[in-house]
Amino acid sequence: MDAIYISGMEFYGYHGVFEEENRLGQRFYADLTLYTSLREAGTTDDLTATIHYGEAYAEIKKIMEGEPVQLLETLAERIAQQMLSTYERVQKVRVKVTKPMPPFAGTLQGVAVEVYRER
């Protein structure tokens, strides 16, 4: 299976369990891998034979900057389901959502969840 990567997407959202997170917001990152066959696109140079990266990004942005949720797991699941429902060519999807500044004491680069879904 071939793969398309959209990595290091940065968004500002109001997700989290605590009131301050919902009021002030914070940065979030998302990484996406779409698993599909790229053979036809590679041999025909035809955009309709692959996934339009800009359109996929726009769908992810709607979720990441949209309705606040409490959990990173919810964001990742929504993105995965959106990709599978929007793009019939996608057979599998891997989504990682990172919160670089979680609201607890500690030295770390962030917390993240990753989901892997397939048809």
Q: Which position among 61, 62, 96, 99 bears the catalytic label?
A: 99
Residue range(s) defining the domain that contains residue 28: 2-118
Query: What's the pLDDT at 49?
Result: 97
- Rounded CA-CA distance 72/17 in Å is 10
Domain count along the chain: 1
With a cut of 90, say whether residue 119 has pLDDT above it.
yes
| Active-site residue flag, 96 | no
Please tell me whether residue 98 adopts helix, strand or coil conformation.
Answer: strand
Whichever domain contains 44, its CATH number is: 3.30.1130.10
Phi, psi of 100 (to 5 degrees): -75, -20
User: Does 102 score more than 90 pLDDT?
Assistant: no
